[in-house]
Amino acid sequence: MPRRARYRADGGVLLRLWCGVVFAFLLAPIVIIGLTSFTGGETVAFPPTELSLRWYAKVLAHLADAPGVKPGLLGAFLLSLRVGVVVAVGTSVAGVLAAYALYRFRIRGMAILRQYFLIPLMLPQIVTGIALLVWFSQLKSVGPLTRLILGHMILTLPYVILTAGASLEASRPDLEEAAIGLGASRPRAFFLITLPLIREGVVAGAIFALIISFNAFTVSYFLYSGDALPLPVWVFEYMAYFLDPTLAVISTFLIAITLLAVILLDRLVGIRQLAGR
């Protein structure tokens, strides 16, 4: 009997199997880190030999800057959070302004300009980091906190431009024109009509910016100082001396926070909508 190749909208067994393997590959490290954090042993080991919360207790001790542990975890966490929030707000404002020009104005060479603004996305972060280090060392008056914020803004700007730009392209320019025709000034038409309509893209871009800034290590490593030390750098330094499950606990916390942010993002704007654009 000849075999007939049939079209199946849900894919065959092999495709499903393949998808399962891919998902497992993506998720396995996260699951392993999570499980490892509950180990009772002295080293990072999988599977954990015995279950215990002793490393969670140690992280709490870190957070309290208890004597005998490496200090500065809470400070690094709060600094990263502060930098992340400032970057999210700052990049959103700059990104929306840039996206408005890049996606609404009809000027010769705009396509090239759009690519230009995406350069930080393509450049290796180590290059961006070195360049910023050299640049900021010329500008002596710029403090370490400002350095970190500006560096992260450069890193996250393309994301806001892309999400806000996609929203702008999907929204109709004639609405703003209609508002101006009805007597609104250009800024007023923008704030009352265009901004509410691209809100989703802007919020998505801001959350991207927050997450990326919070996780940025490479660029931060070139820009931090002792009194402005972000969490990823703290983790890196810790790892240089200790290799115990403390980091697994911190990682688990970070995964949880990121997951919360993603859920928040979905509630707010819908992940589907982001992917669809």
Task: Give the binding site for other proteins (CB under 8 A).
Answer: 172, 174-175, 177-186, 188, 192-193, 196-197
HSE-up (13 A, CA, CB side) for residue 216: 34
Q: 14-51: string of b/e by CB count within 10 Å (b at 16+)? A: eeeeeeeeeeeeeeeeeeebeebbbbeeeebeeebeee
Residue 9 vs 111, nearer CB to other proteins? 111
Residue 11 vs 196, nearer CB to other proteins? 196
Return d(Cα 156, Cα 210) in angstroms, integer: 8
Q: How far is the CB of 276 from other proteins (least distance, A)?
A: 18
Residue 132 vs 193, nearer CB to other proteins? 193
Burial bucket for residue 92 (CB in 10 Å: 0-12, 13-18, 19+): buried
Residue 28 vs 175, nearer CB to other proteins? 175
Nearest to 161 by CA among 229, 210, 91: 91
Q: How far is the CB of 180 from other proteins (least distance, A)?
A: 5
Q: How far is the CB of 174 from other proteins (least distance, A)?
A: 5
Q: How far is the CB of 197 from other proteins (least distance, A)?
A: 6
At 37, the amino acid letter reads S
End-to-end CA distance of the chain: 46
Q: How far is the CB of 189 from other proteins (least distance, A)?
A: 8
Residue 12 vs 196, nearer CB to other proteins? 196
